[in-house]
């Protein structure tokens, strides 16, 4: 019969992973306290560890809380059996068509395309529009200030 700590970790981890049948928790007692060794399917290992180890740290925090209740010290070891599937490289993610077009096109042609787009000159913005915006803003400010002054003169 498994103890409450094993059942707890097993329940939480099985809720997280895609292959809950592969979750195994082994409990060992040593001089440092209770060691729980967690083994999951290699594809689920990243899910149990989480980004920057956040999920694993959360599991350890929950175990610490359980240890406080049971007057025990728990340690969680996530076993990496080294059978993870290889991660695809950037080139494997891109469609084959895109790679071949880029590789076949000489560097000189790519430079000419860049040069062609840079020949188009942008029309400078008229300065008068900026001034008119500034004048409108200052005109609105002066009107608002005048209204506030009129309100200050009222006897309430």
Determine contact, residues 33/73, Cβ cutoff 8 Å.
Answer: yes
pLDDT of residue 118: 47
Question: pTM of the entire structure?
Answer: 0.52
Give the position of tokens 């400078």: 124
Using the Cα atoms of residue 50, residue 53, residue 55 and residue 59 in order, give the sign of their dihedral. positive
Chunked in runs of 10, what are the mean pLDDT values of the chain (156 residues)?
Answer: 84 93 91 90 91 93 90 90 67 55 51 50 55 66 81 66
> Residue 93: what pLDDT?
55
């Amino acid at each position: 019969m498994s103890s409450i700590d094993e059942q707890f970790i097993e329940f939480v981890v099985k809720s997280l992973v895609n292959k809950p049948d592969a979750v195994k928790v082994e409990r060992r007692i040593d001089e440092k306290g209770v060691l729980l060794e967690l083994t999951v399917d290699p594809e689920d290992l990243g899910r149990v560890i989480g980004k920057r180890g956040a999920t694993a740290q959360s599991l350890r925090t929950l175990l610490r809380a359980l240890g406080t209740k049971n007057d025990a010290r728990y340690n969680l070891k996530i076993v990496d059996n080294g059978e993870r599937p290889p991660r695809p490289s950037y080139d494997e993610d891109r469609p084959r068509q895109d790679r071949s077009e880029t590789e076949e096109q000489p560097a000189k042609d790519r430079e000419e395309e860049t040069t062609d787009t840079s020949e188009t000159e942008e029309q400078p913005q008229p300065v008068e529009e900026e001034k008119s915006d500034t004048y409108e803003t200052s005109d609105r400010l002066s009107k608002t200030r005048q209204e506030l002054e009129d309100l200050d003169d009222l006897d309430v």
